[in-house]
Amino acid sequence: MLTLHRARLLHTGTGAGTGTVEDGAVLVDGATVTAIGPFDELAGGPARIREWPGLLVPGLLNRHAAWLLETAYHPDPREERGDRPLLPDGDLTDEQRGGSARRGLQRLLAHGTTALAGPLHRTPVRTAVTRSGLRHLPGPDTGPGPLDPLDPRAGGTLEAALHRPLTVGGAADFAVFAAGTAEELAGGGTRCLATVLDGRLLYRSR
């Protein structure tokens, strides 16, 4: 099915200025981007249209995967311990670790993350990542650091947080944020409205 994602501002991550389109759109066929450009140029075909009020950018890369999913614990909402990653009180069973990882992955999606980096050794965690569809990349884990480990933009630039640019023929991995400019996304904190991975809407803000 063809889907045309329209956003007030589109930032493809392909370069300053040239990669930004006002009232832009991304045409998606299944899991693949088939066209990028102004909405007026892409509209009028048979595609279903999704309209987003903010800024559409490529999916983000979180470099704290090992700490977030194998060291930290993501509480179940029924525990009433908040939704931030915590250090576990003791050893976790495989079932508890798998549940924690699944909740952590959902919270990563809620921050615009479509890819993770860092070594993953625990079987229930690797299984949860595979089933989530998020892309797992090799590379060192940078640890949690002093800033928000769930937000890839925390303390840095947007360009450094992007997994890869949005390109025609590439994977339909992107996120939409409640921001008016790309500069507003730098450093984190701006609310994620939606995350799309392989053309699938996996997170939408309520």
**What would the mean pLDDT of 65-87 be, rounded to a whole number?**
90
- Residue in the structure block whose two tokens are 């303390």: 155
- 66 within some domain: yes
Residue 196, CA distances (Å) to 62, 73, 87, 99, 143 in order = 15, 25, 29, 22, 26
Alpha carbon 191 to its chain centroid, in Å, reads 12
Does residue 191 register a pLDDT over 70?
A: yes
Q: Which long-range contacts (CB under 8 A, 24 or more apart) does 17-25 make?
A: 19/165, 20/182, 24/56
Q: What's the whole-number average pLDDT of the chain?
A: 91
CB neighbour class for 198 (10 Å; exposed up to 12, middle 13-18, buried from 19): middle
Give the per-residue pLDDT at 90: 84
- 41 within some domain: yes
- 179 within some domain: yes
* Residue 1: strand, helix, or coil: coil
- 130 within some domain: yes
Interaxial angle between packed helices 94-109 and 123-132, expressed in degrees from 0 to 180 and rounded to the nearest 10: 30
Give the per-residue pLDDT at 15: 64
Q: Are residues 11 and 34 in the same domain?
A: yes
d(CA 106, CA 103): 5
Does residue 66 register a pLDDT over 70?
A: yes
Give the per-residue pLDDT at 146: 63
**What would the mean pLDDT of 104-109 be, rounded to a whole number?**
96
- 158 within some domain: no
**What would the mean pLDDT of 182-196 be, rounded to a whole number?**
88
Task: Give residue-wise pLDDT tens across range 110-158.
Answer: 999 999 999 999 999 999 999 999 999 987 777 776 678 899 988 788 8
**What would the mean pLDDT of 69-95 be, rounded to a whole number?**
89
Share of the chain above pLDDT 90, in %: 69
The number of CA neighbours under 13 Å toward the Cβ of 85 is 29
d(CA 190, CA 22): 19
Where do runs of H (alpha helix) occur along 93-201?
A: 94-109, 123-132, 158-161
d(CA 149, CA 143): 8
Residue 94, CA distances (Å) to 89, 97, 99 in order = 15, 5, 9
- 151 within some domain: no
- 93 within some domain: yes
Number of domains in the chain: 2
Report yes or no: 173 and 114 within 8 Å, Cβ to Cβ. Answer: yes
Domain around 49: 2-59+163-204
Give the per-residue pLDDT at 28: 98
Task: Give residue-wise pLDDT tens across range 3-56.
Answer: 999 999 999 997 654 578 999 999 999 999 999 999 999 998 899 999 999 999
Provide CB contacts within 8 A for 78, sequence distance 6+: none
